[in-house]
Amino acid sequence: MARRPPPIGMFGIKLVGEAHTAFRFFGRAGRPALMNFPDSPPGRRIAADIPIGHRSLVYVMHPIRRFWTAIEYIKWDPTINDVLTEGWQAAAAQGADAMMEAFNSHYAKLWRCIRILALMKDPQLAPTPDFGFQEGDIMREISEGEYFDMFNAIPWTWTDQDHSRGP
């Protein structure tokens, strides 16, 4: 029997492409806001296993290489048990699936509902930590302390009033 990796924790860094900053459904205008994942075995496992309430700092890869948003994975429709089905339905309702399919079909398949906790209107103003991410990386786990240290170091343009700034 294949060994399954341990479940994803409650804090991480989610990696996205530069195009994410251009689509409204990835930001505060999404109803709900969305995050997508590659349609691959690792992408499916990660997308399905992220617990409700998990918080991620969203890091835009090449060429920006900076933080853009802070998000929390949420349950949007309590009548849908499977988080990937819920995400796909939310994406379809907003036309997000079709827009991303036209842009890059590899990343348009798996969706999760999120809440935006903080946002940088211009990611170029965010810190530029060197994480050594490689193409194909999807997400990296971090501790609660690391999350809040990085969150508090970013000069967010907008933050949700309900979001705790941590310890």
Q: Is residue 1 a part of any domain in this protein?
A: no
Only one residue has tokens 């804090």, namely 11
Q: How many structural domains compose the chain?
A: 1
pTM for the whole thing? 0.89
CATH number at residue 131: 3.10.590.10
Q: Is residue 61 a part of any domain in this protein?
A: yes
Q: Is residue 34 a part of any domain in this protein?
A: yes
Render pLDDT for 107-157 as a digit per residue (tens, 0 to 9): 668 999 999 999 998 888 888 777 788 777 889 999 999 999 999 999 999
Is the torsion defined by CA of 65, 70, 73, 75 positive or negative?
Answer: negative
Render pLDDT for 2-17 as a digit per residue (tens, 0 to 9): 434 445 789 999 999 8
**Residue 101 banded pLDDT, cuts 50, 70, 90:** confident
Q: Is residue 4 a part of any domain in this protein?
A: no
Q: Is residue 106 a part of any domain in this protein?
A: yes
The Cα 82–Cα 48 span in angstroms is 8
Q: In the prediction, which pLDDT does 1 show? A: 38
Q: Assess contact for 21 and 68: CB atoms under 8 A.
A: yes
Domain assignment of residue 113, given as a range: 11-159
Q: Is residue 6 a part of any domain in this protein?
A: no
